[in-house]
Amino acid sequence: MDTGHPDIGVSAPPRLMDVPDWVYLLREFDVLYRHGSAGGSPVIRSHRKRVRDRLSATFARNPEILDRFPERKPVTAHFARALDVGERGAMQGMARALREIRDWLTWEYGYEKMPRSLAKKYAYCEVLGPNGPVQCDDLILGFVLFAPDTTYPQHHHKEIEESYISISGAWSENNAAVYAPGSLILNRAGDEHRITTGDRDPCLLAYAWVGPAERLSAPGMKLSGGKARV
Ligand SMILES: [Fe+2]
């Protein structure tokens, strides 16, 4: 993998501990899921524990960093602004760590069919998971980026529990509240959810997916009838 670090040899794939920028980024996830609050919710507390236990096991395993080709999408034109706003807020540690690996991110849609309007305003990148770049079978960590004034259609995730932590920007889920950087939302497996974002700035969310390895390796994301389903 071209890690951008000239000291890493090309013959042997680097392992996690060989590349400090990835280690520091994952440590920011660990801090969020270890020291953040569960808000008194036992369900959120146990989700947070599952995420950090699987992340700790990944650190202990020191997996290879898999080769992923960096890719951009139209929404990544908003990424610099999202990081800038993020670096001035409560999630500045994560925003700064993410800035250091910004050139190595693979931005994706995930869906076979994308509505044209959403294709301009949404993309996600994985930083840890079955497909890498940091290899892990039972946890996916990544980021989703939305342009200002975006609606991410209603969907749910079969067998996968999902949490979002806001890094930059304001957003709402199911019209229930407005969330700021640092807020965490848990969508349990099967929970329907729909996201909208504020109209002035982009919104950058960190996310964690916990589920069975078979499901995480092939989540089969689909859009149909205006609804996104996994
Ligand atoms: Fe979701």
Asked, for residue 50, whether it belongs to a domain, the answer is yes
Asked, for residue 5, whether it belongs to a domain, the answer is no
Mean pLDDT of 149-159: 90
For residue 190, the CA-to-ligand 1 centroid distance in Å is: 10
Domain that holds residue 94: 16-229
Q: What's 210's domain CATH number?
A: 2.60.120.10
Asked, for residue 201, whether it belongs to a domain, the answer is yes
Q: What are phi and psi of 144, to 5 degrees?
A: -120, 135
- Tell me the C-alpha distance between 117 and 222, whole Å: 16
Q: How many CB atoms lie within 10 A of CB 101?
A: 19
For residue 148, the CA-to-ligand 1 centroid distance in Å is: 18
Asked, for residue 196, whether it belongs to a domain, the answer is yes
* 131-143 residue pLDDT tens: 989 999 999 999 9
Asked, for residue 7, whether it belongs to a domain, the answer is no
Identify the residue with better confidence: 116 or 71.
Answer: 71
Domain count for the chain: 1
- 2 pLDDT band (50/70/90 cuts)? low
Asked, for residue 4, whether it belongs to a domain, the answer is no
- pTM attached to this predicted model: 0.91
For residue 189, the CA-to-ligand 1 centroid distance in Å is: 10
**187 pLDDT higher than 90:** yes
| CA-based end-to-end distance of the chain | 30
For residue 157, the CA-to-ligand 1 centroid distance in Å is: 6
Asked, for residue 136, whether it belongs to a domain, the answer is yes
For residue 163, the CA-to-ligand 1 centroid distance in Å is: 8
